[in-house]
A = this chain, B = another copy of it.
């Protein structure tokens, strides 16, 4: 029937199993941290023999690294293709909004990163150096250009970025605290809008911008 190049049964099952394992590992690592999650737990969760995991991923470290790599692969840093000609308010508003949506709807990835950074980022050091740092540098340049053109207040662009990251990720990483303090069991549909609104108001006004009336997707 299918004459694909490689519908190898071998590769097929391998990929299927690897996905199973990575999914389980991602969940457990983000929930319990690197040390808190054990290989046997991952095996049980993925319904795969433990030795199979070691066969695919050499070691626990290897598995952990693969989990991180996979997250990074589709970890859209957002804010791409921004230029000096764009409107700061619109760009930043949309960025904040997308980060809040991510935090509320997919907190696991954010938490995995958080626990990794808390531990001193042993596995992310390289990623930060070779990817995040240049990416940040570029955004900082755009922000600086906007400031120089008096399109927004002059604040330290690095700290502005940190402010956006911290405020938005907070709702993922510290979800337990937020919910406890607000006496809620979980976020509801209105929360995303509410959070976005509050953060955007404070930050945008805080740097001399106005929250745009209508946002684009």
Shortest CB-to-CB span from A2 to chain B, Å, is 45
Chain B residues with CB under 8 A of A35: 32-33, 35-36
Task: Return the contact of A162 from the options B133, B167, B206 (Cβ within 8 A).
Answer: B167
Taking CB atoms and an 8 Å cut-off, the chain A residues in 29-65 that contact chain B are: 31-36
Q: How large is the interface on A (under 10, 10 to 19, 20 to 34, 35 or more residues)?
A: 35 or more
Partner of A121, one of B159, B167, B176, B182: B176
Within 8 A of B (CB), among A175-192: 176-178, 180-183
Answer whether residue A143 sits at the interface, using C-beta atoms and an 8 A cutoff: no
Are B133 and A180 closer than 8 Å at their CB atoms? yes
Selected interface stretch from A7-15, A16-24, A77-85, A150-158? A150-158
Q: How many copies of this protein are present in the complex?
A: 2
Whole-angstrom CA separation of A197 from B33 in the bound complex? 34
State A129–B205 Cα separation when bound (angstroms).
33
- C-alpha spacing A198/B161, complex, angstroms: 11
Q: Do the beta carbons of B176 and A162 come within 8 Å of each other? A: no
The minimal Cβ–Cβ distance linking A160 to chain B, given in whole angstroms, is 7
Chain B residues contacting A180 (CB-CB under 8 Å) are 121, 125, 128-129, 132-133
Chain B nearest CB, measured from A94 CB (Å): 18
**A87 to B183 alpha-carbon distance, docked (Å):** 29
B-side contacts of A125, CB under 8 Å: 180
A97 within 8 A of B: no
A166 to chain B, nearest CB (A): 4
Is A203's CB within 8 Å of the partner chain B?
Answer: yes
Contact with B along A94-126 (1 / 0, CB 8 A): 000000000000000001001101111100110
Contact B114 A201 (CB under 8 A): no
Beyond A167-B167, A202-B202, A205-B207, 16 extra complex contacts between A and B, CB < 8 Å: A35-B35, A111-B118, A114-B118, A117-B174, A120-B176, A121-B177, A121-B180, A124-B177, A155-B201, A155-B202, A159-B198, A162-B167, A163-B199, A165-B170, A166-B170, A166-B174
